[in-house]
Amino acid sequence: MKITPASIAFNQQGTPVATEFDDVYFSNQDGLAESHFVFFQHNGLPQRWQSPSSLPFVIAETGFGTGLNFLQTWQQFVESGQQAQALHFISVEKFPLTRADLAQALASWPTLQGFAAQLIQQYPAAIAGCHRLEFEQGKVFLDLHFGDVDDIFSDMACPPDGLVDAFYLDGFAPSKNPQMWSDSLFSHMARLGKPGSTFATFTAAGFVRRGLQAAGYSVDKVPGFGTKREMLCGRLENKPLTQSDSCWQRYQAKPASKQVTIIGAGLAGANLAHALAKRGIEINLFSQAEGAADGASGNLQGGFYPQLHVAPSHSSLIQALAFTYAKRTYACLLNDGYAFDGEFCGVLQVGFNPEQQARIQSLAERASWPQDLVHWVDVDTCSELAGIAMPYPALFIREGGWLNPPSLIDALLQKASSLSPLTCHYQHRLQHVERLPQGWLLTFDNGVQHQCETLVFATGAESINLPLLNALPLRPVRGQVEHLPSQGQLSKLRSVVCHKGYLTPAWQGRHAMGSTYTKGDMARDVRGAESDYNLSTLQTALADCDWVGEVHGDGQARASVRCTTPDHQPIMGAMPDVAAQQQQFQTLNQRKAEDIALAPSTLPGMYVLTGLGSRGLCTAPLMAEALVCQMYGEPLPLGQTLLNALNPNRFLLRELKKSAAN
Ligand SMILES: Cc1cc2nc3c(=O)[nH]c(=O)nc-3n(C[C@H](O)[C@H](O)[C@H](O)COP(=O)(O)OP(=O)(O)OC[C@H]3O[C@@H](n4cnc5c(N)ncnc54)[C@H](O)[C@@H]3O)c2cc1C
Ligand SMILES: C[S@@+](CC[C@H](N)C(=O)[O-])C[C@H]1O[C@@H](n2cnc3c(N)ncnc32)[C@H](O)[C@@H]1O
């Protein structure tokens, strides 16, 4: 879905007005006071923040608009001095303001300036789906979903007991925006609300009151703000008996334990440790080598960019959302003083042959992606951005660049250990896993045994050696990257260039030039034939560059193994119990997976994050965050449709469906 920005004007009082809806974003009288009165007070806040809970307090809003309600709530949360609980604010916006309009609209609130500046800084590009922003050192989360509220709420995963504590039912007046105030919205509120969850809204429209009552809410009509006579607020008294999550496992019946064991110290393992530590979870991380970043994540320079299709397919939406999330995560690490090597110097995807030129041309013409994510540049601009002659049109991903995964992993682990107890056990190769009545017993090659309730595999391509992960159709793919000495014109390269392979600006006197793609090969020796292949791929693809013929290597390279999947998507979630599911889903061929309301059997307390393929720098942070939310019953930063595309169960369900049909 393409996201259309809001069309707004500012009236004489300086209040933003949506021209299409002919309605104000907030009261002309005093928008801030109205927000506090209607939404905050009438949801029983801040009093409801007094009871400590390990789960975040979740507010869901219809219509983010200028973010005034969010900023006001965030400010109150900080002033409440609440320490024990996090605030998780979910908001949906169909027509996002541009960053410039947002800044102008928020300039009216001097008391909120500190908060507004942080929001404006992190405000995401207009990509459909969920953008998770974090503030107050992870105490305040904003999930800003771009899309229609009906689509977003219906696609929102929800634990059996509900997700939301309080709803801010905003949106333009029902008379000006009747499409939004639908029975479908009210029934989604009842599905997503926890028993006893509350709502408040500025309107007193009769059909809104009746719709909410029919959905299970008790509704009170109370005096409205300022000159408004009445408004509505209420409580979810009759939570509908919703079926579980369908046969896609999104949440477990009970949250994971407060101690977690991770196997693997690559990008997946380090991002998991970071996401768990932010929640105060105690971590034991085991890995086989002498230190972290020994596997695929040990490359000197990796390109950081999303793999986008011309149209926003599920896979490219995952890439785009993961990329922007990763960028915010990396910026936050740097901000917090955790340094790593790399440069956000932009990535050029060059149209080096007619087929690629047609692809980038049509991606630009379809304009499915916002310009601040990716934009088309002509031949001259391409050379200017590259810093050397690059006579091709290209797509430019301005926020991308290259990163040094080992130092990034180090920064993630350092930050994790500053937030929560983290013990890294290196030189421990996992050999055997035994199921216990209460968890798992791990045996390592050095004889050490370790018992745990919650176990996450982040074992990259070597996952194929672990019998418990046999059910996953993982495919190892060897790759060799050259470390070219910086030389001649090449030394002036200042953006990452992607053609059939990729080439990075120099770091420590060398450029990364990659890479080969040898399926099924797990060997990690450096091969002269692959160096020749990498060089000739560069010289053939970029044959129009006058400098390319003189490029030469000196045999320095690194080889490692990617972990890929048949559908090229990562694998993230609870580990399926194959034998049990073969019994459970015998009738799958007659029904859609979505129609079977039966939680699939998974191995208790066992999770997996792998299959990051060739884009781990882009996808690992969001995959880790989503997995941790799933483990602890928190709101998920991805909708169900995209979660299904990542679910470890997807292969098994497809197989069961196919075999039942035959
Ligand atoms: C040649 C090449 C070029 C690439 N270029 C890019 C790029 O430009 N941009 C990009 O984003 N991505 C790139 N990638 C992909 C990226 O490197 C991977 O997606 C990422 O590193 C995967 O991280 P991971 O943590 O899943 O796996 P790994 O980094 O392989 O980590 C797996 C970890 O598990 C441990 N482990 C495995 N089995 C056991 C066991 N039994 N016991 C104990 N420990 C175990 C390993 O020791 C290791 O620490 C490239 C990959 C290759 C191979
Ligand atoms: C009155 S404004 C919200 C003001 C906002 N809460 C604030 O604090 O600034 C209403 C918002 O709802 C959005 N909206 C309207 N219909 C929608 C829909 N169907 N789905 C999602 N958002 C919608 C509008 O684009 C607008 O931004």
Tell me, in angstroms, the distance from the centre of ligand 1 to residue 411's CA. 17
545 and 588 fall within a common domain: no
Tell me, in angstroms, the distance from the centre of ligand 1 to residue 611's CA. 9
Scored b (16 or more CB within 10 A) or e, 380-392 reads ebbbebbbbbbeb
Q: Residue with the nearest Cα to atom 7 of ligand 1?
A: 302
Q: Single out the residue of 447, 400, 466 nearest to residue 264, CA to CA.
A: 466
Block residue for tokens 């560069």: 538
- Distance separating alpha carbons of residues 561 and 610, to the nearest angstrom: 12
Tell me, in angstroms, the distance from the centre of ligand 1 to residue 264's CA. 9
Residue 529's φ and ψ, nearest 5 degrees, are -65, -35
26 lines ligand 2 (CB under 6 A): yes
Q: Residue with the nearest Cα to atom 14 of ligand 2?
A: 63
Tell me, in angstroms, the distance from the centre of ligand 1 to residue 296's CA. 3
Block residue for tokens 């002919």: 22
83 and 172 fall within a common domain: yes
- Cβ pair 587, 595 in contact under 8 A: no
Does residue 49 form part of some domain? yes
326 lines ligand 2 (CB under 6 A): no
Give the 3-state secondary structure of residue 165. strand
Nearest-atom number in ligand 1 for the CA of 610 is 26
Q: What angle do CA 558, 560, 563 make, to 5 degrees?
A: 150
Last residue of a domain, one of 559, 579, 604: 559
Tell me, in angstroms, the distance from the centre of ligand 1 to residue 615's CA. 10
Tell me, in angstroms, the distance from the centre of ligand 1 to residue 262's CA. 15
Q: Give bridge partners of residue 10 from the DSSP assignment.
A: 16
Stretches where the chain sits below pLDDT 50 are: none
pLDDT reported for residue 480: 98
- Cβ pair 425, 288 in contact under 8 A: no
Tell me, in angstroms, the distance from the centre of ligand 1 to residue 10's CA. 51
CA 83 vs. chain centroid, Å, equals: 26
Domain span at residue 22?
Answer: 8-236
Task: List the CATH number of the domain containing 112.
Answer: 3.40.50.150
pLDDT reported for residue 447: 98
Closest-approaching ligand to the CA atom of 128: 2
136 and 201 fall within a common domain: yes
Q: Residue with the nearest Cα to atom 5 of ligand 2?
A: 65
Write the CA distances from 563 to 22, 477, 523, 606, integer angstroms.
Answer: 52, 6, 13, 19
Q: Which residues contact 19 (CB under 8 A, 6 or more apart)?
A: 7, 8, 9
Greatest CA separation for the chain: 80
Nearest-atom number in ligand 2 for the CA of 179 is 19
92 and 215 fall within a common domain: yes
Nearest-atom number in ligand 1 for the CA of 289 is 47
90 and 125 fall within a common domain: yes
- Cβ pair 383, 329 in contact under 8 A: no
636 and 551 fall within a common domain: no
Does residue 242 form part of some domain? no
521 lines ligand 2 (CB under 6 A): no
Does residue 335 form part of some domain? no
74 lines ligand 2 (CB under 6 A): no
160 and 228 fall within a common domain: yes
Nearest-atom number in ligand 2 for the CA of 68 is 8
Residue to probe by mutation, ligand 2, list 180, 183, 184, most atoms within 8 Å of CB: 180
- Distance separating alpha carbons of residues 573 and 249, to the nearest angstrom: 8
Closest-approaching ligand to the CA atom of 7: 2
462 and 555 fall within a common domain: no
pLDDT reported for residue 52: 73
92 lines ligand 2 (CB under 6 A): yes
Closest-approaching ligand to the CA atom of 504: 1
- Distance separating alpha carbons of residues 562 and 520, to the nearest angstrom: 10
Write the CA distances from 336 to 253, 330, 413, 424, integer angstroms.
Answer: 35, 10, 13, 22
63 lines ligand 2 (CB under 6 A): yes
66 lines ligand 2 (CB under 6 A): yes
Does residue 575 form part of some domain? yes
- Give the torsion through C-alpha atoms of 46, 50, 54, 58, to 10 deg: -20
Last residue of a domain, one of 540, 559, 578: 559
Give the 3-state secondary structure of residue 230. strand
Tell me, in angstroms, the distance from the centre of ligand 1 to residue 263's CA. 12
644 and 524 fall within a common domain: no
Alpha helices in 36-169 (DSSP H): 68-79, 99-106, 113-122, 149-154
Scored b (16 or more CB within 10 A) or e, 169-197 reads bbbbebeebeebbeeebbbbbbbbbbeeb
Scored b (16 or more CB within 10 A) or e, 438-456 reads ebbebebeeeeebebbbbb
Q: Residue with the nearest Cα to atom 41 of ligand 1?
A: 430
pLDDT reported for residue 218: 98
496 and 421 fall within a common domain: no
Does residue 317 form part of some domain? no
Q: Residue with the nearest Cα to atom 15 of ligand 2?
A: 171
552 and 413 fall within a common domain: no
69 lines ligand 2 (CB under 6 A): yes
Block residue for tokens 């798992």: 440
Quote the number of domains for the chain: 3
Does residue 2 form part of some domain? no
Does residue 467 form part of some domain? yes
Tell me, in angstroms, the distance from the centre of ligand 2 to residue 633's CA. 27
Tell me, in angstroms, the distance from the centre of ligand 2 to residue 632's CA. 30
Q: Which residues contact 168 (CB under 8 A, 6 or more apart)?
A: 39, 43, 59, 60, 61, 62, 69, 199, 200, 201
Closest-approaching ligand to the CA atom of 64: 2
Alpha helices in 244-336 (DSSP H): 267-278, 314-335
Tell me, in angstroms, the distance from the centre of ligand 2 to residue 94's CA. 7
Last residue of a domain, one of 529, 559, 589: 559
526 and 579 fall within a common domain: no
Residue to probe by mutation, ligand 1, list 267, 318, 519, most atoms within 8 Å of CB: 267
Does residue 108 form part of some domain? yes
Task: List the CATH number of the domain containing 491.
Answer: 3.30.9.10
Tell me, in angstroms, the distance from the centre of ligand 2 to residue 170's CA. 7
Tell me, in angstroms, the distance from the centre of ligand 2 to residue 381's CA. 38
Closest-approaching ligand to the CA atom of 305: 1
- The pocket around ligand 1, CB under 6 angstroms, is made up of 263-269, 286-289, 294-297, 299, 302-303, 429-430, 458-462, 479, 481, 514-515, 560-563, 610, 612-618
Closest-approaching ligand to the CA atom of 15: 2
Q: Which residues contact 51 (CB under 8 A, 6 or more apart)?
A: none
Tell me, in angstroms, the distance from the centre of ligand 2 to residue 63's CA. 3
pTM value is 0.97
Tell me, in angstroms, the distance from the centre of ligand 1 to residue 311's CA. 29
Task: List the CATH number of the domain containing 446.
Answer: 3.50.50.60
Closest-approaching ligand to the CA atom of 91: 2
φ/ψ bin of 491: left (φ > 0), alpha (ψ from -120 to 50), beta (otherwise): alpha
pLDDT reported for residue 263: 98
Tell me, in angstroms, the distance from the centre of ligand 1 to residue 405's CA. 10
pLDDT reported for residue 247: 67
